[in-house]
A and B are shown apart, each in its own frame.
Chain A
């Protein structure tokens, strides 16, 4: 059974810092890995999707990498801003199109 874990569970950093969020999964047979952000009480905003054949994806200040063999992905946020404060979720797609979500990292960027 696929299990997805995110470390740390919570993170508080001063504005301007570069930071790394981690996602690990137990079954390397995945099709996609996707990172989302979720603001309190809101739905999901897709940030980056990495297909199984890819190693990384970049969008603005965000960079996500994928190492299938070790079952890990990282989300790198450069020059963090208070507006980046949110919960970040990773999800893997394996099996019959099912998304398995990680436990989430609650990020707070202090002004």
Chain B
């Protein structure tokens, strides 16, 4: 149980275009999901907290107009990178808060974004 999936696993897009990444909780409902970014040889940095039915909360320094987050259902959150640039190339990982209401998060397998 507690499986989180992401789609796509890899995406290549051209500079200036937008790309959407999906994060799904497969066997549980997740009122809260999180989005992280990981640059090569660095650790994961939290970008934003996504709450079902309300606006996402962004961490300091993350541009909310560039990284659009939508959590329209209890099993799906999406991250749209708008007007992507090569510096947005990164590994994006989502997670979902445990359905038991505790503090544990379950992580997706990640999406590798390359902007050319």
CB within 8 Å of B: which residues of A?
Answer: 31-32, 34, 36, 41-44, 46, 49, 89, 91, 93, 96-104
Chain A, Cβ-Cβ closest to B46: A98
Tell me which residues across on chain B come within 8 A of A96, comparing CB atoms: 49
- Chain B: interface residue total (CB-CB under 8 A): 21
Main SS of chain A's interface residues? strand
Complex Cα–Cα for A93 and B104 (A): 8
Is the pair A32, B104 in contact by a Cβ cutoff of 8 Å? Answer: yes
Confirm or deny: B112 has a beta carbon within 8 angstroms of a beta carbon on chain A.
yes
On B, residues with C-beta under 8 Å from A are: 32, 34, 36, 43-46, 49, 91, 93, 95, 97, 102-105, 107-110, 112
**A34 lies within 8 A of B104 (CB):** yes
Q: Which residues of A contact B109 (CB under 8 A)?
A: 42-43
Contacts of A98 in B (CB 8 A): 34, 46, 49
Out of B43, B91, B97, B105, which one reaches A103, CB within 8 Å? B43
Give, as a whole number of angstroms, the nearest-CB distance from B82 to chain A: 24
Contact B43 A97 (CB under 8 A): no
Nearest Cβ distance between residue A4 and chain B, in whole angstroms?
8
- Are B97 and A97 in contact, with the CB atoms below 8 A? yes
CB pair B43 A43 closer than 8 Å: no
